[in-house]
Every structure is written in C-alpha cells, then in structure tokens.
C-alpha cells in the first residue's frame, strides 16, 4: 500500500527525497569534512592536491601528535574531565532527587518549581555567564575549579530533571506500595525498586549533563583562569588566535565522543521504551 | 487541577515531596538565580562616584546651579581627588564620569596629577587654573548626575537614551546610538534563521515522520548527530568550509563558477553567522516538528486525494493545520535560542555579524562597562522570559522533551 502511494506521487516524492538528502548533507557533511582534514600533512584547512589523489604522503598524524603531546591540551583534557565529572555527579544526585519529588502526586507548586529548576537551560548562556561572573567574583570563586563545577552543575541539572521526570512517568507507583507491604522502608524501596527501574532516565540525564559541561565554553571564558582551561576553551583560542589543523584533530576526538554518547543514549531510550511497555506504562508520550 | 488529589494525600507526603526537591531548589537559587539577580542589580546600582567623592556630592546638593558652586565644594573636590589619586581609585572615577560626559576623563586625571604635585587654596581659583573645565558648570552637573548610588543611566544607555542635568530624557547623540539598531539586527537575524530552519526542517521532518520505521530511526540519528557534536567543532567546520581558501571556494573555483582571484567572502560576516546558526539550530526545529508530524496518519492525505483534492489543496487543508503545533514549538524554540546566541557569531560573525550577546560580552570583558553590560543582559533576559511564558501558555513547557 505504501509503495502504491509513493508511486502515485511520483516526481513530487522524488523532489522531496532529493531535498531531504541535501538537507541531511547540510547537517552532516560539515561535521564529517573535519575528519579527513585532521590528517592533513600540510598546515592548511583545505584538501591539498595530494589528499585528493589519495597520496599517502599527503596524510599524516602530525596534528594528533601535536595535540596528544602538548601539555596545554593534556591539561585541558584533564580539566574537562574533572569539571565535567564533578558537575555531573552533583547535577545527577540533586536532579534525580528533585525529579522524584516533582513526580509525586502530592507535590505542591509543581509548575513554579519545575520552571525554576529548568531555568538554567532556558536562559541564554551569555546572561548566565555574565551573572555568574559578577556573583562568583564577589565571593572569590572566579578562576577556581569550585566555581566552574558549581556553575556547570547548575547548567546540567535541568537535563537530569527532565529525563528522570520522563522516566518517572512510566514508573508504576504501586510497586512502592508493594515493597512497603513486604516490609521495605522508604529508602530501601527507593534504592531497590524505584532507582533500578528509572535508571535509564538517570543515566541519560547524566550523559546530557556531562555532554553539556564538555561543550560549555562561555562560562569558562568568563570565569576560568589559565589554570582551568578546558578542551572547548582551548579550541576557542585555537580558532581565534592561531589557526592550525591541531584543532581539527581535537575536533575529531570530540566527534567520536559525540557518536559514543549518542549511541548510548539511543540504546538507553530503546531499553526504557521496552521496559515501560513491559510494565504497561503508557504515559511516555512521544511528544 | 492537582488540588483535589493534594487535599486527599496526607500533609506528610506533600512535605516529603517538597523536601526531595529542596536541595536542588536551594542549589539553583544560590548558583544560578543569585547570579542573575546580581547582574540585574549591576544595571541600576553604581556607587563609584558616591563612594569616591561623598563630601563633594553632599556639598553640591546646596548648589543652586546658577553660576559656579561655592568654595566649600571646590575644597571638598580637591581633597577627595587627592585622596582618590593616592588610593588609585581615580581611574575608575574618571571612567565613570567620562561615560556620562565624554571628555571628563582628562579633566579628572590631569587634576589628580596636578594636585599630587601640590596646589594651594583658594580652590575655586586653583582648580580652574589646572583645567579650565572647573570654571564651567558642566563638570559639576556631571558629578551631581552621577552622584546617586542608584541610577537609570545604564538602562537608558542600553536603549540609546540619556538623562540631562534637568532630568529630561533625550536620545543619545547620533554617533552613540548603537544598541537599538543592534537589538533590531538581532531580532532580524533570529527571524531569518527561524525561517531558514523552518524551510529546511519542515520537509525534512515530514519525510522522516512518514518514512518506514527503520529508515526513520536512522535518519533521525543523522539529525541528532550534529545536536550532540560540540558547538565549537561545528563552528570550526564552517570556518573550514567557508573561508576564502576553504573547501567551498575551492570547489567553486575548480568548477569554474568563480575566478580564483575573486573568491567569495562567506565567513567572518553576516553570511557566516546565518549559515552556521541555521546549521546549529536546525535540529531544534526538526525534532518538535517530527514528533507532531509522526502523529498525523498518512492515510488522511490519500483520503483527501481520493475525494478529489489536488496535492497542494490536501496539504493546505489537511496536513498543514495538524502540523501547526510543531511549527509553533519549533519556531519559538529556534527564535528563543537564536536571540541569545553568542558563540557562533563571536567566532564566524566578523564585524558585521555581531549580535546583542556579543556586545554584552564586550562590555563585560573588554570595555569593562559592567553596568551597561548588565543592563543589556537584563533586557535580553526579559525578552527571553516573555517568549518562554508565551511558549508555556501556548504549548506547555512541561511537554518539552529532550531528543526525539
């Protein structure tokens, strides 16, 4: 039946398919083009004649070497990891608790509190960064790891709140009553029954929060000192100051990380979708 | 709506639920809301002049503004300027006064230097000898105007207005009118990006929504990949593609469409900003459109066709109206994100592609005019909040989901 519809539309359908291919090309090609260029033997941002004829001498690993051996980039990777992981831990713990509270049918002022908790995701980053710069400098937290971890945790928490709230919607509350009737206290019920069932939501929230921190540059620009330079901060000065294909090799690393994160999230989503249909929860609206 | 349920549930469970959210509420209040409030406060609170020249300002209150102030005002000014020079606060003072009236900086710094070398009373004679401006009422009026700790000047400045000594609000001189144009440009760019995203995103989302499930999944992943890729990576990619010696110009030259000597300027200008912003924001358009469109049964279009509707008619009467919630959500989301955009214009915008966010960063990091940066930031913030309230009223913020 489907094929019939398609053939009946003919040229229109073809035009749409071609348009969408171009649109997807527009989305994907700019990201993919970076990867071969990062192996450029020359310090250029474009394909050399040698690269186009697939001459092996036109390709090299020199930019990877430069990035992997440079103290600055290593320090940046270390900083990104420390800040990202600490901020994620903080955001995930606080965010999961809050989402469990927000999902309780007894929760008062739900709308207002939800709006407050997801506000860091909504406010333009430049405004958040400006405010954080003013405020954190008045309490001497600029140019410190603590300051950056706190601000990245604030920016990451909304992702956890949203994903865990969504996971809670598919959670059958009667299971908690069942656990209680079998003698489990509220804490035991939470850790043994509820948390395992909402864990896909918690993990995707944590991944979102980590990705947000890993990609964050504006707050770092405003608040971080030389000591706290992260990978995006390092790329920022790379783009602004001395353009070299070394940034392209760093970019390739980040693309690989993005693909890994995306695949993990999609797997989690597929798993939790299966799980919530298994428990009969239909509350997970697609939109 | 939840009132009935809430009254049934025991107060203890309400408190329990509230207690669970409390840690994050407190955390966000301290790490996020307090900074926002401190920014808004910066825009109206500036104690520079009041702190550095308190006695001068106090003495000036009794000045009738006819002619020049009395000797006691001059004496207080000389004393406090000497002190300010010793304590190295005079630079800040000069900057603040200069913002109110251009040219005041040199009056203050020259006077500070001269007082440091030594000068004699009566001050109403020696100050005008140091700088003739002290013999005119303008400089005193400037001091009086800036002497309040609370000021509306930064907000006025942010919309190209200023306050005169008589308390009138007038437009800034033509050469200093920058910000209204910039706000208009920012809105214009955001609208263009929104329309570009809609033009590309609508057909794409429809195509994915009505593709067979497996293929839809794959295509959606392709849309999500840029969404997950670092913003800086995507911006770098566009520089690589668009620069004069870049991939796109190379292809155009190779194809003979553009002579090698006249390579196109595609980046570090408005074109760069538009292209890169459209690329970055397109997934935010596709995802809400997709989730609405995948709920529209494809058979409806066939039914319309079988009843004799041409394709455009069936689309306009059957498909488009049902997809409107997605169009609204996508456009509003893209517009809101675009209006506060910073990174992309800063890196690929050059001079002509800068938006309001870039000016906020400039005032905070470079010109150090924090009050003005804060005022511009607060205006942008208010605009975004209004748009989101609108979004919430029309579409419901709680329906916002991450990803597909």
Flag whether pLDDT at A21 surpasses 90.
yes
For B358, the token pair is: 């870039």
Q: Is the pLDDT of residue A9 over 60?
A: no
Count of structural domains within chain A:
1
Comparing CB atoms, the residue among B18, B39, B397 nearest residue A108 is: B18
pLDDT, tens digit, 9 for 90 and up, residues B216-230: 989 998 998 888 888
Alpha-carbon gap: A127 to the closest alpha carbon of chain B (Å) = 6
CA distance B289 to B272: 26
Token readout for B281 is: 């924001």
B338 belongs to a structural domain: yes
Cα–Cα distance measured from residue B285 to residue A247, given in angstroms and rounded to the nearest whole number: 29
**Which residue from B minimizes the CA distance to A111?**
B398
In a domain, A17, yes or no: no
Q: What's residue A151's pLDDT? A: 96
For residues A151 and A141, is the Cβ–Cβ distance under 8 A?
no
Which CATH number is A139's domain given? 1.10.3720.10
CB distance B392 to B401 below 8 Å: no
| Residue B311 pLDDT greater than 90, yes or no | no
Asked if the C-beta of B205 comes within 8 angstroms of chain A's C-beta atoms, the answer is: no
H helix count then E strand count, chain A: 14, 0
Domain boundary among B124, B147, B170: B147
Is the pLDDT at B395 greater than 80? The verdict is no
pLDDT of the residue at B400? 57
Query: What confidence tens digit (pLDDT) does each residue in B240-295 have?
Result: 889 888 888 888 888 888 888 888 888 888 999 999 999 999 999 999 999 899 98
Q: Give the per-residue pLDDT at A161.
A: 95
The CA dihedral of A127, A129, A135, A138, to the nearest 10 degrees, is -140
Q: Are residues B256 and B361 in the same domain?
A: yes
Could you tell me the residue range of the domain that residue B260 belongs to?
179-399
Stretch B320-343: mean pLDDT, rounded? Answer: 91
- Tell whether B238 lies on the interface with A, counting CB pairs under 8 A: yes
Q: What is the pLDDT of residues B26-52, one digit of tens each?
A: 999 999 999 999 999 999 999 999 999
Task: Judge whether A157 lies within some domain.
Answer: yes
Q: Count of CB atoms within 10 A of residue A173's CB?
A: 12
Q: State the pLDDT confidence band at B404, using cuts at 50, 70 and 90.
A: very low
Q: Give domain status of residue A38, yes or no.
A: no
Query: Does the pLDDT value for residue B398 go beyond 70?
Result: no
Is residue B6 predicted with pLDDT exceeding 50? Answer: no
Band the pLDDT of B5: cuts 50, 70, 90.
Answer: very low
For residue B172, is it within any domain?
A: no
B340/A261 touch (CB, cutoff 8 Å), yes or no: no
Q: What is the average per-residue pLDDT within A37-53?
A: 81
Number of domains into which chain B is organized: 3
> Is the same domain home to B368 and B255?
yes
A188 inside domain: yes
Residue A109 in 3-state DSSP?
A: coil
Q: Are residues B116 and B143 in the same domain?
A: yes
What tokens were used for A188?
Answer: 């035991």
Whole-angstrom distance, CA of residue A240 vs CA of residue A221: 13
Q: Do B302 and A247 touch (CB under 8 A)?
A: no
Q: What is the mean pLDDT of residues A86-110?
A: 93
Judged by CB atoms closer than 8 Å, whether chains meet at B18 and A16 is answered as no
Asked if residue B43 belongs to a domain, the reply is no
Q: Are B380 and A127 in contact (CB under 8 A)?
A: yes
**Does residue B169 lie within any of the structural domains?**
no
Question: Which residue out of B17, B19, B249, B341 would a mutagenesis test of the A interface target, given it has the greatest number of A Cβ atoms within 10 Å?
Answer: B17
Domain holding A174, by residue range, is 82-277
Among B42, B219, B236, beta carbon nearest to A251: B236
The b-or-e profile of B328-339 (16+ CB within 10 A means b, else e) is ebbbbbbbbbbb
- Tell me if A101 and B21 make a contact (CB, 8 A cut-off): yes
Q: Is residue B274 part of a domain?
A: yes
Compare CB distances from B343 to A27, A116, A218 and report the shortest one's residue.
A218
Burial A227-260 (b: 16+ CB within 10 A, else e): ebbbbbbbbbebbeeebebbbbbbbbbbbebbee
What would the pLDDT profile of B169-218 be if each residue is shown by its tens digit?
888 888 888 899 999 999 999 999 999 999 999 999 999 999 998 999 89
Q: Prior bond to B122 cis, omega within 30? A: yes
Query: Does residue A284 carry a pLDDT above 70?
Result: no
CA distance A279 to A175: 10
**In the block, residue with structure tokens 């294909």:** A245
A138 and B38: CB-CB below 8 Å? yes
In the predicted structure, residue A281 carries a pLDDT above the cut 60: no
Asked if residue A4 has pLDDT above 70, the reply is: no
Residue B164 lies in a domain: no
- The predicted-structure confidence for A202-245, as pLDDT tens digits, reads as follows 999 999 999 999 999 999 999 988 889 999 999 998 888 766 78
Task: Tell me whether residue A155 is in a domain.
Answer: yes
Crossing angle of helices A110-122 and B11-28, in 10° steps, is 20
Indicate the DSSP class of residue B172: P
Helical spans, DSSP H, in B87-178: 90-100, 104-117, 123-130, 137-146, 153-158
Which residue bears the tokens 């071969």? A36
Mutation to test the B interface, candidates A4, A36, A130, most B Cβ within 10 Å: A130
The answer to whether B261 faces chain A, any CB pair under 8 Å, is no
pLDDT at B1: 39
Question: Tell me, what DSSP letter sits at residue A192?
Answer: I
Same structural domain, B279 and B389 = yes
What pLDDT does residue A282 have?
31
CB contact under 8 Å between B302 and A255, yes or no, is no
For chain B, the average pLDDT equals 88
**Is position B92 within any domain?**
yes
Q: What is the distance of C-alpha A2 from the center of its chain? A: 37
Confidence of residue A275 (pLDDT cuts 50, 70, 90): low
Is residue B101 very low, low, confident or very high in pLDDT (cuts 50, 70, 90)? Answer: confident
CA distances from B333 to B21, B145, B168, B284, B357 (A): 27, 42, 39, 7, 17
Q: Do B283 and A27 touch (CB under 8 A)?
A: yes
Residues B61, B9 share a domain: no
Q: Does ipTM come in above 0.95?
A: no
CA gap B269, B276 in Å, rounded: 11
Q: Which of residues 292-331 of B touch A (CB under 8 A)?
A: 292, 294-295, 298, 302, 305, 311
Could you tell me if B366 and B226 lie in one domain?
Answer: yes
Residue B284: the pLDDT is 92
Banded pLDDT at A1 (limits 50, 70, 90) = very low
Between A67 and B10, the more confident residue is A67
Q: Which residues pair with B45 in a beta bridge?
A: B150
Burial of B192 (0-12, 13-18, 19+ CB in 10 A): middle
Strand, coil or helix: B345: helix
Instruction: Name the band, by pLDDT with cuts 50, 70 and 90, for residue B10.
Output: low
Q: Are B76 and B59 in contact (CB under 8 A)?
A: yes
Quick one: tokens of B46? 């500036």
pLDDT at B399: 58
**Three-class DSSP category at A286:** coil
- Name the DSSP letter for residue B70: P
Mark yes or no for CB contact B240/A46 under 8 Å: yes
- For residue A56, being part of any structural domain is answered with no
Q: Which of A100, A115, A204 sits opposite B397 (nearest CB)?
A: A115
Q: Which residues from B are below 8 Å from A218, CB to CB?
A: 342-343, 361
B280 contacts B334 by C-beta, under 8 angstroms: no
Crossing angle of helices B356-365 and A125-138, rounded to 10°:
20
For A120-139, how does the pLDDT look when each residue is reduced to its tens digit (9 = 90+)? 988 999 999 999 999 999 99
Residue numbers in B near A12 (CB within 8 A): 311
Average pLDDT, stretch A11-29? 90
Q: Please classify residue B311 by burial: count the beta carbons closer than 10 Å to its beta carbon, then call 0-12 exposed, 13-18 middle and 19+ buried.
A: middle
Average pLDDT on A94-103 reads 94
When pLDDT is averaged across residues A274-281 and rounded to a whole number, the result is 48
B110-136: average pLDDT: 88
């Amino acid at each position: 039946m489907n094929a019939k519809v398609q053939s009946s539309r003919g040229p229109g359908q073809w035009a749409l398919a071609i348009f969408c291919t171009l649109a997807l090309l527009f989305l994907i090609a700019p990201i993919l083009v970076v990867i071969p260029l990062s192996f450029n033997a020359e310090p250029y941002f474009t394909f050399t004649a040698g690269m186009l004829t697939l001459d092996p001498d036109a390709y090299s690993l020199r930019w990877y070497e430069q990035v992997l051996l440079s103290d600055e980039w290593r320090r940046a990777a270390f900083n990104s990891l420390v800040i990202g992981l600490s901020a994620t831990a903080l955001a995930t713990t606080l965010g999961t608790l809050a989402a469990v509270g927000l999902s309780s049918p007894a929760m008062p002022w739900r709308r207002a509190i939800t709006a407050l908790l997801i506000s860091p995701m909504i406010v333009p980053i430049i405004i958040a960064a400006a405010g954080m710069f003013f405020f954190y400098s008045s309490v001497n937290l600029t140019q410190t790891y603590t300051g950056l971890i706190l601000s990245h945790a604030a920016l990451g928490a909304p992702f956890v709140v949203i994903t865990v709230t969504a996971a809670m919607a598919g959670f059958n509350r009667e299971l908690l009553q069942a656990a209680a009737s079998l003698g489990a206290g509220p804490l035991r019920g939470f850790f043994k029954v509820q948390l395992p069932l909402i864990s896909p939501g918690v993990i995707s929230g944590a991944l979102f929060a980590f990705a947000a921190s890993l990609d964050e540059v504006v707050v770092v620009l405003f608040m971080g000192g030389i000591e706290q330079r992260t990978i995006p901060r390092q790329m920022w000065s790379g783009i602004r100051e001395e353009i070299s294909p070394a940034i392209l090799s760093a970019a390739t690393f980040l693309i690989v990380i993005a693909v890994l994160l995306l695949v993990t999230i999609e797997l989690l989503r597929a798993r939790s979708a299966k799980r919530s249909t298994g428990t009969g929860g239909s509350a997970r609206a697609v939109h | 709506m939840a009132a009935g349920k809430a009254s049934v549930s025991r107060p203890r469970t309400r408190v329990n639920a509230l207690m669970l959210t409390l840690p994050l509420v407190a955390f966000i209040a301290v790490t996020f809301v307090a900074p926002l409030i401190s920014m808004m406060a910066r825009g109206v609170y500036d104690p520079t002049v009041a702190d550095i020249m308190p006695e001068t300002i106090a003495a000036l209150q009794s000045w009738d503004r006819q002619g020049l102030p009395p000797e006691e005002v001059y004496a207080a000014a000389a004393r406090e300027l000497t002190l300010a020079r010793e304590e190295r606060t005079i630079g800040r003072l000069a900057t603040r006064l200069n913002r109110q009236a251009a040219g005041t900086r040199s009056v203050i710094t020259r006077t500070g230097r001269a007082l440091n070398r030594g000068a004699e009373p009566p001050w109403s004679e020696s100050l005008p000898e140091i700088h003739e401006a002290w013999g005119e009422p303008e400089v005193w009026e400037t001091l009086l105007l800036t002497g309040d700790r609370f000021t509306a000047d930064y907000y006025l400045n942010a919309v190209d207005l200023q306050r005169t000594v008589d308390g009138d609000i007038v437009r800034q001189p033509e050469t200093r009118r920058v910000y209204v144009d910039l706000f208009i440009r920012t809105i214009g760019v955001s609208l263009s990006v929104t329309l570009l995203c809609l033009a590309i995103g609508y057909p794409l989302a429809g195509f994915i929504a009505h593709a067979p499930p497996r293929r839809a999944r794959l295509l959606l992943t392709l849309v999500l990949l840029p969404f997950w890729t670092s913003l800086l990576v995507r911006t770098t990619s566009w520089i690589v593609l668009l620069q004069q010696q870049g991939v796109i110009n190379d292809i155009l030259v190779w194809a003979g469409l553009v002579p090698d000597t006249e390579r196109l300027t595609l980046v570090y200008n408005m074109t760069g900003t538009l292209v890169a912003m459209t690329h970055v924001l397109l997934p935010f358009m596709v995802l809400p459109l997709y989730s609405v469109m995948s709920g529209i049964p494809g058979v409806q279009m066939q039914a319309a066709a079988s009843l004799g509707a041409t394709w455009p008619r069936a689309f306009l009467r059957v498909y488009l109206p049902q997809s409107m919630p997605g169009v609204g959500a996508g456009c509003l989301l893209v517009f809101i994100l675009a209006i506060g955009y910073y990174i992309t214009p800063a890196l690929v915008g050059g001079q002509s592609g800068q938006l309001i966010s870039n000016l906020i960063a400039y005032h905070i990091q470079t010109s150090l005019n924090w009050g003005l940066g804060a005022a511009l930031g607060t205006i942008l913030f208010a605009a975004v909040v209004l748009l989101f309230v609108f979004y919430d009223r029309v579409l419901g913020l709680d329906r916002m989901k991450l990803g597909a």
